[in-house]
């Protein structure tokens, strides 16, 4: 069983839709990261959070430590948001465990 | 631009050949990492370093060696390449062990034939 599970694996949305990507994990963590991997392959860190909620532009990330769950929301989605979104959890110690990613396609 | 630079971007090796991938960062980050990314799987940690002169094994270290002689550089070596090492390799760095300031290189696509 993977320590980090993301859902859905694939998501297609129409431009303007509100999008939610979920991440569940099974171990105790000190932080959770959301990453974005562009079609060209580059990976960008979006958020690092250990509690509550963070917002950056149209992106919102939330985490519920008790439920071991995090969500990434995209408001007013745009085709340029098309990418793979990766959840990664920082276990105690130095290990960072990655989910397999959610492939998002936003159609105009 | 500040960030993480990986070289080369692409490489094709024959089985048994050796090569070194170079990662350089100019953000004064203490932590550096090497990952591999395979289709359908999440990024997997090969080796990492928590500071100059230190290295440690990650999840999939077999067949790889690393060195961190200077704080800004983290080298990944393949002594005898195998087809199973065909993958995309990413280097990353962070300010601390929590992953603060986590920054990735653009990746190296390696094919072993």
State what percent of residues in chain A have pLDDT above 90.
81
- Tokens linked to B89: 């390799």
Q: How many Cβ contacts (< 8 angstroms) between chains A and B?
A: 57
Task: Name the residue facing A33 among B90, B102, B107 (closest C-beta).
Answer: B102
Residue A2 has pLDDT above 80, yes or no: no
- What average pLDDT does this structure show over A87-94? 82
pLDDT of residue B1: 60
CA nearest neighbour of A51 among A69, A39, A38, A35: A69
pLDDT (0 to 100) of residue A94: 63
Select from A30, A95, A97 the Cβ nearest to the Cβ of B98: A30
DSSP string for B42-74: --EEEEEESSTT--EE-SS-TTEEEE-SSTTEE
**Which residue in chain B is spatially nearest to A85 when comparing CA positions?**
B42
Q: What is the mean pLDDT of residues A89-105?
A: 86
C-beta separation of B54 from B62 below 8 A: no
| Long-range residue pairs from A27-30, CB within 8 A, at least 24 positions apart, any chain | A27/A3, A27/A89, A27/A91, A27/A97, A28/A91, A28/A92, A29/A65, A29/A68, A29/A89, A29/A90, A29/A91, A29/A92, A30/A90, A30/A91, A30/A92, A30/B98
- Tell me the per-residue pLDDT of B38-71, one tens digit each, with 9 for 90 and over: 987 889 999 999 999 999 999 899 999 999 999 9
Q: Please give the DSSP secondary-structure letter assigned to residue B15.
A: T
Say if the Cβ atoms of A48 and B99 lie within 8 Å. Answer: yes
- The 10s digit of each residue's pLDDT in A46-82 is 999 999 999 999 999 999 999 999 999 999 999 999 9
**What does the pLDDT read at residue A16?**
97
B101: left (phi over 0), alpha (psi -120 to 50) or beta: left
Top-confidence residue, B97 or B78:
B78
| Residue B16: strand, helix, or coil | coil
Residue A1: what pLDDT? 55
Give per-residue pLDDT as tens, A13-37.
Answer: 999 999 999 999 998 888 999 999 9
């Amino acid at each position: 069983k993977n320590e980090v599970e993301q859902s859905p694996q694939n998501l297609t949305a129409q431009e303007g839709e509100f999008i939610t990507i979920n991440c569940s994990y099974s171990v105790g963590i000190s932080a959770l990261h959301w990453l974005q991997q562009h079609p060209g392959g580059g990976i960008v860190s979006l958020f690092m959070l250990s509690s509550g909620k963070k917002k950056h532009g149209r992106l919102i990330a939330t985490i519920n430590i008790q439920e071991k769950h995090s969500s990434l929301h995209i408001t007013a989605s745009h085709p340029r948001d098309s990418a793979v979104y990766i959840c990664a959890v920082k276990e105690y110690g130095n290990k960072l465990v990655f989910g397999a990613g959610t492939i998002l396609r936003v159609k105009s | 631009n500040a960030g993480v630079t990986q070289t080369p971007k692409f490489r094709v090796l024959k089985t048994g050949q050796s090569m070194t991938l170079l990662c350089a960062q100019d953000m004064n980050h203490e932590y550096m990492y090497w990952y591999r990314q395979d289709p359908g799987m999440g990024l997997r940690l090969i080796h990492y370093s928590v500071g100059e002169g230190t290295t440690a094994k990650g999840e999939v270290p077999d067949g790889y060696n690393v060195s961190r002689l200077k704080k800004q550089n983290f080298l990944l070596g393949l002594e005898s390449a195998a087809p199973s090492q065909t993958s995309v390799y990413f280097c990353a760095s962070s300010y601390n062990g929590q992953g603060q300031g986590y920054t990735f290189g653009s990746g190296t696509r390696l094919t072993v034939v």
